[in-house]
Structure 1
Amino acid sequence: METMTAERPGSSLRPHVKAFKSTAIASVLEENGHSSFCCATIREIEGMIEAGHKSDLLLANETLDASRLGSLVESGARVTVAVDSEATVKVAAEAGIKEVLIDVNVGLPRCGCSLSEVEDLATLAKRHRLGIRGVMGYEGHLMFTADKQERSMEVNKAMEILSQAHSIVGGDVISAGGTGTFDINKFATEIQAGSYLFMDTRYAQIELPFRECLSVVSNVISIEHDRKWAVTNAGVKAIGMDYGKPKVEGSIVALCSDEHSTLFPPEGNEKTALEIGDVVMMKPSHVDPTIAKHPRILCMDGEYIIDEWPIDLRDW
C-alpha cells in the first residue's frame, strides 16, 4: 500500500473495490489519503455508502437498473456512472444521476464506445442534463504484457485513443489503468488499481514492486497410500482459477476439483512430505474472484492474527 500511495497519492489513485470487497479495507485506504473509489457493481457502491464512504464513487461499469441507481442518488453520495451507449445514458438520466464518464474502448474487447461515437454520446448526455466529468478507458488487455517496454508502448497507443476522446468531451477526469500499468500510464489523471494490495501469481509474473501476501488457508485431508500425493480441502469453490491453478510452496498443484486440490511432491521427490492435518497456504492466480468467495480476510503477522476484515461487498 505504501509503495502505491507514494507513486499515486490522493486522488491520482482510485482504488478498485472489486479487488478487495471490504469497507474495512476501504477505511484503511482512506486513512492513507485515498477518498475516491472505483466500483464494479451497484452492491459495492451501496455498501460503501452504508459505511460512510460517500465523497466520490465511480460505477466503472455499464448498468440498465434505473431503480437501484436512483436509490444511490437518494443517499446523497457523489456517484458517477460510466456510460457507453444511448441506453446507458438514458438510464442514468432516468435514475437522476448527475455525473457520468464517457467509457471509451481502447483495445480490450469489452465495454466502451468507439471513438467515432464519443461526440454523439456526449451530446446526448448533455441533452439529458448529465454533467460529463471526463472519459474512462481500460487497457486491460495490456496488464500482463511481460516486456515492460512493449507494455509501455502499447499503453501509449491505447491512451492516444482516450486522449482524442478527451479532446472531444473535456472534463477533469481521465480514468484508466490498473495494477499492471500504474507506473506506465502517465496520461490518466487517476489509476483504477486494486490487485496491488494483495497481488496474485499472475501479476507476480511481471515486474511490479508489490508483494504477494494473499493465501487461502487449507488443510491436508488425505494422503495417497504410497505418499505419491496429498489432498487439501480447498478447490475451485474456494480459489479463483480463471488465470490458472494456485501455487503451493514445496508442492506441485496437479489438479483442482470443487472441494479438493491434489498436490504432488516437488520435482526430484517421489513422496510428499505433507501429513494429514497440515496447514497448506495456497496462493491464487487471481485475487479478485478468490476474495469474493470468502466472508473474511485474516490479517496475519507471522503466525499471529492481528486483524480481521469482513468481506462485506460481495454479490451484485
Structure 2
Amino acid sequence: MHISELQTPALLVEQAALRHNLDTMSAALPGGRLRPHVKAHKCTSLARLQYANGHRGFTCATIREVETMAAVGLGEDLLLANEVLDTRRLGRLVEDGHRVTVAVDSAETIKAAAAGGIREVVIDVNVGLPRCGCPPESAGPLADLARRAGLVVRGVMGYEGHLMLVQPEAERREKTEQAMRRLLAASADVGGELISAGGTGTCTVNIWANEIQAGSYALMDTAYEQLGQPFQQALFVLGRVISVSAGWAVVDVGLKALSLDHGLPSIDGTEVWFCSDEHTTFRTDGVPQPAVGDLVRVRPAHVDPTVALHDTLHLVDGTQVLEQWPVDMRGW
C-alpha cells in the first residue's frame, strides 16, 4: 500500500529510524538494564521487537497495558509503575502465572495490593517530581509494612520526570544525581534488587539506577529531539492539505490527532502557526507552495499522548506501508 491510500490523519512509523533507535538503546542499555515503558507506544507488535532485542521486563502505566502484554505472551516481568487501589484484575494475572509487580507509596496502596492478590511490589519514592512517591525516609517503614502484609518487596523506584528536558546536559546530569541520591538512600533502607528509574531524557546520564524505564526513545518526538540524543524521529502524523490561502495552508491534523502539552508540532521547511480541533495552520510565505491534496508529515512534540489518540501504527519505508500494527493497549 502507498501512504496516499491511507485515511488521514494517520500515524506513520519509519522502519529504518525505529530499528536504529531500538538497536542504539539496546547497545547502550542491554538486557535487564532497560525496562522499556510501553506507555509511549501502547503497541504489543513494537513491544515484541523490544523483547527480541533482549529486554524481558517491561514497564506499564495502566492495568490495561499489563493485561494486554500478558495476553500476548509478554508477561514474564511486568512492572506497573503507578499506584492503583483496585488490583483484582492484576491479581488474576498473577494467579495465571504472570509476574506482575506494582508500585506502592502508602499504607492504602499496600493494603490494596495485598487484597487484590499481588505478591510483589516496589516502593515508589519521591525524588523531586511532585507527583506520586513517598518521602525517602518513609520508604523503609513502608517496606516493612508491605512485608508484614505478606508481600515481597523487590526494591525501589523513583521517576525524575521533572528533569527529562533540562538543558544543558551537564545540568541534567547534576540534577539527576541529586534525585538518585534520594533514591539510593531509600534503597539502603528498603533492600531488594531493583533500583528502577529514568526515562528517555535521562537514559544517557542516569548511572545510578540499575534499570531504566525509557519508552519514548523508540519513536521519539520533537521535545526529546532537542536534547541531541542518538535517537531519530520515527513517528509522524500523516495529513493532507485541505485548504490553501495567501500566506498559509491548512493540513487535516489537529488537536484530536496529536498532543500539544509539549508545544506545537512541526512541519519540515515551514513554521506551524497554531492547531485547532481538526486543523494545523502553517506558513507558506517563502517556501514551496503546497496544493490542496498534498501529503504532509507532521512531527508531534509529545509521542505518548499522540499515539494514544490513534488505533493503528503504520510501519513504512518512505512512501510504502509495510505493516499495520494495532495500538492495542489503548484505553483503560
Query: Which bracket does the TM-score occupy, shorter chain normalised?
Result: over 0.9
Partner of 2:211: 190
1:274-296 CA distances to partner (integer Å, 9 max, x unpaired)?
Answer: 11000010000000001111111
Partner of 2:177: 156
TM-score after normalising by structure 2:
0.92
Output the CA distance in 2 between the equivalents of 1:18 and 1:129. 29
Aligned partner (choices 256, 262, 267) of residue 248 of structure 1: 267
Aligned partner (choices 275, 278, 291) of residue 294 of structure 2: 278
Aligned partner (choices 254, 269, 276) of residue 257 of structure 1: 276
Output the CA distance in 2 between the equivalents of 1:26 and 1:103. 24
Q: Given residue 302 of structure 1, which amino acid in structure 2 is its aligned partner?
A: G
Output the CA distance in 1 between the equivalents of 2:119 and 2:91. 11
Aligned partner (choices 128, 135, 145) of residue 114 of structure 1: 135
Is contact 1:84–1:103 with CA below 8 Å preserved after alignment? yes
Q: Cα offset for 1:262?
A: 0.9
1:46-74 CA distances to partner (integer Å, 9 max, x unpaired)?
Answer: 10011111110000000011322322223
Output the CA distance in 2 between the equivalents of 1:272 and 1:306. 29
1:18-63 CA distances to partner (integer Å, 9 max, x unpaired)?
Answer: 0010111111111111110000000000100111111100000000
Aligned partner (choices 37, 48, 70) of residue 49 of structure 1: 70
Is contact 1:264–1:272 with CA below 8 Å preserved after alignment? no
Is contact 1:253–1:264 with CA below 8 Å preserved after alignment? yes
Residues 1:309 and 2:309 aligned together: no
Partner of 1:147: 168
Matches within 5 A, 1:11-26: 11-26=32-47
1:188-207 CA distances to partner (integer Å, 9 max, x unpaired)?
Answer: 11000010011101001112
CA-atom RMSD, angstroms?
1.1
Output the CA distance in 2 between the equivalents of 1:91 and 1:143. 31
Partner of 2:222: 201
Partner of 1:3: 24
Q: Cα offset for 1:117?
A: 1.3
Matches within 5 A, 1:174-189: 174-189=195-210
Q: Given residue 176 of structure 1, which amino acid in structure 2 is its aligned partner?
A: A
Output the CA distance in 2 between the equivalents of 1:243 and 1:80. 30
Aligned residues: 311
- Provide the secondary structure at the position in 1 that maps to 2:207: coil
Q: Cα offset for 1:272?
A: 6.3
Output the CA distance in 2 between the equivalents of 1:25 and 1:35. 13
Q: Given residue 158 of structure 1, which amino acid in structure 2 is its aligned partner?
A: A
Partner of 1:288: 304
Output the CA distance in 2 between the equivalents of 1:97 and 1:66. 7
Q: Cα offset for 1:250?
A: 2.0
1:220-271 CA distances to partner (integer Å, 9 max, x unpaired)?
Answer: 11112xx2211111100001110011100122111111111111125xx2x7
1:111-170 CA distances to partner (integer Å, 9 max, x unpaired)?
Answer: 000012112211110110100000000011111011111111111110000000000011
- Provide the secondary structure at the position in 1 that maps to 2:238: strand
Q: Cα offset for 1:307?
A: 2.1
Is contact 2:92–2:117 with CA below 8 Å preserved after alignment? no
Is contact 1:250–1:265 with CA below 8 Å preserved after alignment? no
- Provide the secondary structure at the position in 1 that maps to 2:201: helix
Output the CA distance in 2 between the equivalents of 1:130 and 1:311. 33
- Provide the secondary structure at the position in 1 that maps to 2:185: helix
Is contact 1:146–1:205 with CA below 8 Å preserved after alignment? no
Q: Given residue 274 of structure 1, which amino acid in structure 2 is its aligned partner?
A: P
Partner of 1:130: 151
Matches within 5 A, 1:228-243: 228-243=247-262
Matches within 5 A, 1:213-224: 213-224=234-245
Output the CA distance in 1 between the equivalents of 2:255 and 2:308. 12
Partner of 1:67: 88
TM-score after normalising by structure 1:
0.96
